[in-house]
Amino acid sequence: MFMPGAENFLRQAREIQDEELRKFSSRITSLLQNHDLGNDTIDCLQRLFLIVSATKYVRKLDGKFVELLQKVLCLPKCPEQIQALCAAILREMSPSNYLILSCDEIQEAKLLSLVSSILLAQGNQKAEVLAVGQRVVKVLEGRLPEGQSSRHLLPLLSKIISLSPASLTEDQTNLINKRMVDWLRYASVQQGVAQPSGGFFSNPRARQPGPITEVDGAVATDFFTVLSIGQYYTEDQWLNMQAFSMLRKWLLCYGSEGANSPNSDDRSEVDGSVMSMVSATSTSSRLLPPKERLREKAFEYCQRLIEQSNRRALKKPDGDLQKACLIEAVTIMDIICRQDSSYVYRTLSCLKILHGRISGDLAYARALLPIAQFFLNHSETAAVDSEAVYKHLFTRIPAQLFHSPMLAFEFIQFCRDNIQFFTENLSIFRRSFPNLFKLLAWNSPALISEFMDLLPAVLGADTAIEIFHLLLDLPCLAAALDIQLRSASAPISERATWDPAAKPASCLEAFRHPLYRSTFQYLLRIETAPRDSPERLAPLRQLLGSMASCPRVVQCADTVPVLLQLYFSVVAEFADGPLINQLVLVLLERSEQLYEIPAFKADVHRVLSSQLVLLCKLHPSLVVELSKELLEFSGTVSNIRNKEDIFTYVVWAIGEYMSVSYDKRCTVEQINKFFEALEAMLFEITQLRPSASIPKYSPRVITVLMTTLTKLASRSQDLIPRMSLFLSKMRAFVQSPAMASVYSEEDNEEILTRAAELMNLLKMPSVAQFVLTPSAEVASPRFHRDTNVSLPLAMKTASRLLERGTGFVPG
């Protein structure tokens, strides 16, 4: 549909030179000066609009020409299309210094609206907002000439108050308050009549208009609202719709500041509002000052909307409008209650009934959010009932509607908006994080940045481990949700075909298979289950492997690394030793058990290994406390092959922190044990036999192993001769034919240099100890920020000193 033709027009419009543009505008000038407001002019103005709007940069138009456009715009008989174009061009030119328009003299509502749109686009350089605001109120104050309607002005008024509420004086807001009451509450309940078309067949006898009806076709039971249906609408019914559309904004702007004093002379009884004098029925409310009176009428309007939204709409668009109205009505009631707490009890009972009515209907799920917001905002008064509302919201809605992007967005925004309250007061919020993660898993690109705000709020010492598992299983969760959704839509007959004895042939079958049912249920749990063991998920991860290439799962997997990083930075703030130990164990264990997406695994390993270092730094004792597990991990060759990153960092951590200077409990036996295990590893990977399938270990693993072994040796000095011997054999290793085929010249060089440096260090055990196990003071970042004082330099210096050899006495 978007043809190259349009692209061409755009390009041409951009490429037009100033000279051509000048000619073009003089052509338009002559058309306009001849009062030609026909198709030619329309055509030209359309093109001119394209020229000025198609580029980001300001087009220079002659001041006289701009002036002419403004004059034409205000011509009494100017066709609507030309007006629209002139206004659009002037807006596109704005902010502009050539503007001479002013709204002061304009009487006609439509033109005032159009001119104002240009003035408001000027960025308020000359206080245009104030001027327009004053003019609009002035016109609304008076009576409009026959055939004109204020309904063009209400959206403009709404715009002005959102730009600058201070544009209206208190008297003016009182006036509008009164008008709002009339518009909202006292619109006619009879239908309007069709505008006589004056055509040949038009019936001269005006038919008696019938009463307005409800959305289900029944005769209206009460006053007119936006959910009232008529064949045609009267002017005041249009205004009713417009007034309700801007009501929330109005109340927010002018509903709360400074209460009217009770003996203010500006009472409704003496107001100039004709309509309310005639049709007001409530006597008590008529004694209220305008602001309070509007509040009351607005409240009644909302109550009526809630009642009307219970009717079955005959037309689908009206059904949609009912839902939007419900959301608006509840939000407005909330605002009213915040402004005047005497409404809270009435609202509470009304919303309780509403909640009972709609909570079972998923089509109304989005309306549950403003209801919950109400209970939150008035939780002190509504404490008893609110629990049920939150519980329903957090347990049911995400589980059932995770696949609705709009609901997911609104739900997460709702959580973000209230996050502080939730974390402090609402245990259900923190308990339902598995449910919240469903929203993320399914809508990950859209929600990731929002979720970054939520994750810290649900993280605590009690939830940290479970959330860690959940994050790592997020792609798995996305896959499971996909199956859940498909299973729900699969025909019943298909659902029943599985044979409980046989292995399920597909994921969909497995979903209902007794063998997997409980694991699926665990993965798709709605609340936290801290005592359950996440290890159960292993078979499920394998089963779901077939969905690893599913785009939604891949998108979800892409979000995990960044969330993990955030996770660790938050956990680091509160984690104590035992929790860190637990985390490290889970980390080592889960690094093996990840959903089978190669890029995902690599990313996660990368993040986990860097976080491992941070955890060790936070709690160095973990190396001693977890020595059994670390020994096991670092003594397994397959760990180098499958997760070299993590293996490398574990080995580094052992070398760094397995020392009495970090933990007094560290014994020589422990050091020796680690030494033996790591020595065996280094031996294993360096004593390669030439064969077809030599796995390549990166030179980094080799150098890190060598360094760690040297560090350990420096702390248990009986090991030094053994280590030196090992290091001296590295040359032979590097030169073996098997190595030559795997490592490059540079790699070999790297390994040999490091071996030589370490060997040299070991020749001076006390220096080695200083260099390899620096005291806390030396290890402080101050010494490492400057590369000239860091470990490699110390080692190089030591080497150089030794190589120079004789005459140097260490000490």
The Cα–Cα gap between 172 and 137 comes to 7
The torsion defined by the Cα of 68, 69, 73 and 77, in degrees rounded to 10, comes to: 60
Q: Which is nearer to other proteins, 292 or 450 (CB)?
A: 450
Give the span between the Cα atoms of 142 and 686, in whole angstroms: 96
User: 777 is written with which tokens?
Assistant: 């003071």
If the CB atoms of residues 389 and 479 are measured against other proteins, the closer one turns out to be 479
CB atoms within 10 A of CB 228: 23
Q: Least separation, in Å, of the C-beta of 81 and other proteins? A: 5
Residue 561: asked if its preceding bond is cis (omega within 30°), the reply is no
The nearer residue to other proteins, 257 or 786, going by C-beta atoms, is: 257
In whole angstroms, the minimum distance from the beta carbon of 70 to other proteins comes to: 16
Helix (H) or strand (E) holding 68: helix 63-73
Q: Is the distance from CB of 733 to CB of 705 less than 8 angstroms? A: no
DSSP one-letter string for 461-512: TTTHHHHHHHHHTHHHHHHHHHHHHHHHHS-HHHHTT--TTSPPSSHHHHHH
Nearest to 572 by CA among 562, 560, 584, 561: 584
Minimum gap (Å) between residue 363 Cβ and other proteins: 11
Nearer to other proteins, 355 or 366 (CB): 366
Alpha-carbon span 457 to 455, nearest angstrom: 5
* Shortest distance, position 49 Cβ to other proteins, whole Å: 5
Least Å distance, CB 311 to other proteins, is 12
User: Among residues 331 and 648, whose Cβ is nearest to other proteins?
Assistant: 331
Would you state the structure tokens that stand for residue 451, as one six-digit string? 């979720």
The answer to whether the beta carbons of residues 217 and 331 sit under 8 Å apart is: no
**CA dihedral defined by 460, 464, 467, 469, rounded to 10 degrees?**
180
If the CB atoms of residues 151 and 711 are measured against other proteins, the closer one turns out to be 151
Minimum CB separation from other proteins for residue 320, in Å? Answer: 5
Q: Which is nearer to other proteins, 123 or 695 (CB)?
A: 123
CB of 438 to other proteins, least distance (A): 15
Closest to other proteins by CB, 457 vs 758, is 457
Could you give phi then psi for residue 229, rounded to 5 degrees?
Answer: -110, 135
Strand, coil or helix: 217? coil
Q: Rounded CA gap, 649 and 615, in Å?
A: 11
- At closest approach, how far in Å is the CB of 614 from other proteins? 17
Comparison of 290 and 534: residue with beta carbon closer to other proteins: 290
| Count of C-beta atoms within a 10 Å radius of residue 780 | 11
Which residue lies nearer to other proteins by CB, 240 or 714? 240
> Do the beta carbons of residue 685 and residue 643 sit within 8 Å?
no
Minimum CB separation of residue 173 from other proteins in Å reads: 12
Q: Are 607 and 564 in contact (CB under 8 A)?
A: yes
Q: Least distance from C-beta 78 to other proteins, angstroms?
A: 12
Least spacing, CB of residue 495 vs other proteins, in Å? 22
What's the rounded Cα separation, in Å, for the pair 378 and 645?
Answer: 52
The beta strand positions in 607-699, using DSSP E, are none
Collect contacts of 405-412 with beta carbons under 8 A, ≥24 apart: 405/443, 405/446, 406/366, 407/365, 407/366, 408/439, 408/442, 408/443, 408/446, 408/447, 409/443, 409/446, 409/447, 409/450, 410/366, 410/369, 411/369, 411/439, 412/436, 412/439, 412/447, 412/450, 412/451, 412/454
Residue closer to other proteins (CB basis): 449 or 546: 449
For other proteins, give the closer residue by CB, 127 or 274.
Answer: 127
> Minimum distance between the CB of residue 157 and other proteins, rounded to whole angstroms?
9
Provide, rounded to whole angstroms, the least separation between the CB of residue 394 and other proteins.
19
Output 471 or 709, the one with its CB closest to other proteins. Answer: 471
